[in-house]
Amino acid sequence: MFLIDAEYDEEGANKVVSPLLALFEKESDYKLIINWAVKLAYPIKKRKNAHRYLINFETNDISKIEEFKRLFSLNHQFLRYLVINLEKTYGYKNSINPKKIAKAQRKAQKYEEFRSKRQSRNYDRAPQKNYSQTI
């Protein structure tokens, strides 16, 4: 989600935003929602109104998000942005940290061991008698 200054009309705002949107248009589950000229709850960079853009997408390419942040910081018409990562790894830094990778692998191994023990225990048991039918 990001906010752009409300001084632009629809055509001007689309012109300013088009480089950002072009980054994600080809991604899977791409969806764009625009709310024109919403009144902000509090001033941001001395502005009380803004155009709100909401982009939903899935990507494995971290460089696109870094490029989004770079383009956002270069243009003063953009007021604020928020990028939310829905995966549990919480981003790129965890995916290259060897300690976190080893910890995740240990957790996955323990989970697989637990799962296999539980399945073998359930198969080794004799079938339980259904007591509700005997009464």
Question: Does residue 50 sit in the same domain as residue 21?
Answer: yes
Q: What are phi and psi of 73, to 5 degrees?
A: -75, -20
Mean pLDDT score of the chain, rounded to an integer? 79
* Whether residues 73 and 11 fall in one domain: yes
What pTM, to 2 d.p., does this model score?
A: 0.55
Task: Note the pLDDT of residue 15.
Answer: 87
Going by pLDDT thresholds of 50, 70 and 90, the confidence category of residue 106 is very high
Number of domains the chain contains: 2
Same domain for 75 and 98?
A: no
Instruction: Please check whether residues 110 and 67 belong to one and the same domain.
Output: no
More confident residue, 94 or 108: 108
- Give the separation between CA 134 and CA 127, rounded to whole angstroms: 15
Do 24 and 65 sit in the same domain of this protein?
yes
Lowest mean pLDDT among 17-21, 70-74, 90-94, 116-120: 90-94
Nearest to 49 by CA among 41, 40, 58: 40
